[in-house]
Structure 1
């Protein structure tokens, strides 16, 4: 692991720990540490007497942007689990990085953390360094900083921060499996593949909407051509008006499930990402529960109670994941129906386009401008049809894959 390229931090060392080591800590609602495991205590460098009863921010490092904690607390405050890459500071002043899975529980919060090592983690370190520099230089409000981080995530191609974290957790779990020379959990691979497919279908939907938006200028061009051809161009005016009306209907239909707050595409992505994140968290919690059986006695910590509490949290997360996955499947099926409806409406638009081509042939020498416009329509229609077929295929694959996952792999995970 390398240090950030920051001259002010060059004196810091790195506290090393293994990929097979998992951190655990539990806090009250105010973030006061109530329990933790030996990995947390050893790597942090604090004694148990210093940790128990101390605020969790005792290990906070200034190189973790405030934006990260604002996003975390916003999610947790609404009862949602969340993940984060976090740079922590040990008692010695040295630092260590973790990928934290944080869940709200009765009476506070629970965090299970693993060692990150993916190319995505390397990119996040760069993003954090830039954002921290801006926070310090401009004294940014955490809300403003959080929005900047969110924008960075969306520019990277993720539709939500939860989607980003679900992808990160899946990649980190797969990387940890590889580094420990153990077979990659097939469920983890499926989670990563599903996440990629969900992002792809959302991007295709947005590109499709942009293609339809570009079509809106073509009926105007057709009307201009018709005005030069009057009275012979009368039918062209009618065709252009019919085309404009039909394309507007499709554009509005697309907007309803691609843009706006809580649109259908985002609902599919958000619910699926939530389910996928929780399924990844299930793996981390299962590993942690197994380690509780060998925990050394610590005054003030009841390991039996902590293990039972973590098991309850895991079971609740499973139930929440099942519900989110069921909702995502339903939304994916609705997305498939909506895409099929768009394809049906496109057939009507194609008929109008063909009528324009026929009228172009009737006008012959006078229809040069119209021919160029119809050629544009041909190109747009070919592009739109390709995108629609891709969206339909992906929507159907996602719905089927999530249904299978819910009934098989997830069932196996729940029995583990």
Structure 2
């Protein structure tokens, strides 16, 4: 079957947008190879293909060259690991027209389920700009999709996010909230809480990286102290001892922070993944529930058993709720560990502060001869103040995160009751 999406891009300048309402949701279900096995009437109407053309066709039949292939590489990498994922996607209808969606893709037994809604948040225009730069670069330069995926991750970092997954989780929360506003209905408080949680995590990440940089900058200061000491006292004197003790203590904290922030499977990364997982699953639960209830009004379609489809969607909805709850419980445990670690590092900083004060005392003892040492201690004062403020912020945010997760779990319990 010919795919219009693979045709000439020249006509893209004249293509018209296909109507998709904010109140509409559509989905498609594929097997493990990406072959379309089912969908709903909105998918069929917007794509403009007949059911006979859609069922059994590869999902790329609706692919638009305006969506960088790197997007699909990221999606595929996630769902192959049984992780839900989201993305903005520009699709092409059979007529050559286009339509934008925010898609949530969830692995299900035997394949994948994609739920899509019309994007309307303030994040959407930013992503359109990114795609407008990357798609031609990828296509005209015959660039490997993995290179485009790397550029997309860099773009997410430029927006202040630690990962593309976190960026898309944040985007989904805002798309759901914006859709509620477009439809003039009350937004889901669980979605707002998860969005706040995601943002708090990103702030913690930035503060942790800032602390790590401060500690790395500190590593040169004990060396400077030893150089000063060699001019002021015999080998092994008080200042030399202070510099050695400071270097050893700060190195221990620095190593702890490095594994805490950038080590493999560090606490932050694990928490971020669990919160993103919960957001994607919650979004899936919400829209599948809304969409499933519309299946009773579908006209018969050869090859699709609507009753069986409703049962399958109900199972997806229930499973999404269970998996989201599990993800948040795991995130709650990690948040508690994060708080404990932050407090532990603050206690270690007290010991480092004691060594710094001893250095200040030596400055006073040496009087004028210790002016160079005093300048070095002034540098320590500056870094210690920065680290102290960041640690206080991290500890406070960690406690906030624990509170947000507890509130979300209470809301879930209320909803279930």
TM-score range relative to shorter protein: over 0.9
Q: Where do residues 12-411 of structure 1 align in structure 2 (5 Å cutoff)? A: 12-231=15-234, 234-406=237-409, 408-411=410-413
Q: CA deviation at 1:189?
A: 1.2
Task: Write the deviation string for residues 321-371 of structure 1: whole angstroms up to 9, x where unpaired.
Answer: 122111111111111111111000100011111111111011111111111
2-structure distance, mates of 1:232, 1:30: 71
Q: CA deviation at 1:379?
A: 1.0
- SS of 2:293's partner is helix
- SS of 1:293's partner is helix
Contact kept? 2:261, 2:268, Cα under 8 Å: yes
2-structure distance, mates of 1:378, 1:325: 39
- SS of 1:182's partner is coil
Q: CA deviation at 1:413?
A: 4.5
Give the equivalent residue in structure 2 for 1:3: none
2-structure distance, mates of 1:392, 1:356: 28
Q: CA deviation at 1:298?
A: 2.2
Contact kept? 2:102, 2:118, Cα under 8 Å: yes
- SS of 2:15's partner is coil
Task: Write the deviation string for residues 91-126 of structure 1: whole angstroms up to 9, x where unpaired.
Answer: 110000001111111122111100001221111111
Contact kept? 1:160, 1:270, Cα under 8 Å: no
Contact kept? 1:162, 1:277, Cα under 8 Å: no
2-structure distance, mates of 1:358, 1:264: 38
Contact kept? 2:172, 2:279, Cα under 8 Å: no
Contact kept? 1:271, 1:324, Cα under 8 Å: yes
Aligned residues: 409
Q: CA deviation at 1:290?
A: 1.7
What is the aligned-residue RMSD (CA, Å)?
1.6
Q: CA deviation at 1:414?
A: 4.7
Tell me, which stretches of 5 or more residues in structure 1 are unaligned?
1-5
Compared with structure 1, are the counterparts of its residues 303 and 412 closer, same or farther at alpha carbon in structure 2 (3 Å cutoff)? Answer: farther
2-structure distance, mates of 1:137, 1:60: 17
